[in-house]
Structures are given as C-alpha cells and as structure tokens.
Amino acid sequence: MIAKKIYKNGLLPSNIYDDWAIPKINHAEKTYLQILSKLYLIEKENSIEKAKSILEEYLNIDPYSYEMNTEYIKLLLKQREIKKKL
C-alpha cells in the first residue's frame, strides 16, 4: 500500500523527461502495475470495494489490459450478485 501511495500515476509530468529516463519510467510503471495486480488478488477475497478501486487505478494506467478488464467485469458481476442477495 505504501508503493501505491508514493507512485500516484507517474513520477513527474511526462514532458520533462529526457530520453535516458524513458526506460526507467516504463520500468517503474510496470513494477507499479505488478504491485496493483498483487494487491487486487489479495483484496478480491476480502473487500470488493477495495479490489474495485485497485482495478480502476490499474485500468487508468493501462486501459487496454485484457486480463484486468476481464477481472473488472467479473468483479462487477460478483458485486451485483451480492446486492441481489441482500
């Protein structure tokens, strides 16, 4: 959770980076997405709302991730089923 708070969708505005920094930025973003993915796997068993928030943050960074979009749809369906039972 600490890494999630520190990263906040990028390190600096993208227009100030030199070419040498781009691979490092891409690596940091990839690492952050891996952290979000692991957090999601933990939270989906405990809290749908937290899991949903994590997936939304992931998809804000990588909106074309097939796997995470699929997980998001599954989570929404699960949330709907729970609401129907109540």
74: pLDDT strictly greater than 60: yes
Residue range 42-70: mean pLDDT, rounded = 94
Query: Residues 13-38: pLDDT tens digits?
Result: 555 567 777 788 888 889 999 999 99
Q: What is the pTM of this model?
A: 0.77
Domain boundaries, position 41: 2-7+14-85
Does pLDDT of 9 surpass 70?
no
Q: Which of 39, 30, 49, 48 is nearest to 4 (CA)?
A: 39
Number of structural domains in the chain: 1
In this predicted structure, the answer to whether residue 80 has a pLDDT above a threshold of 60 is yes
pLDDT in tens, 62-71: 999 999 999 9
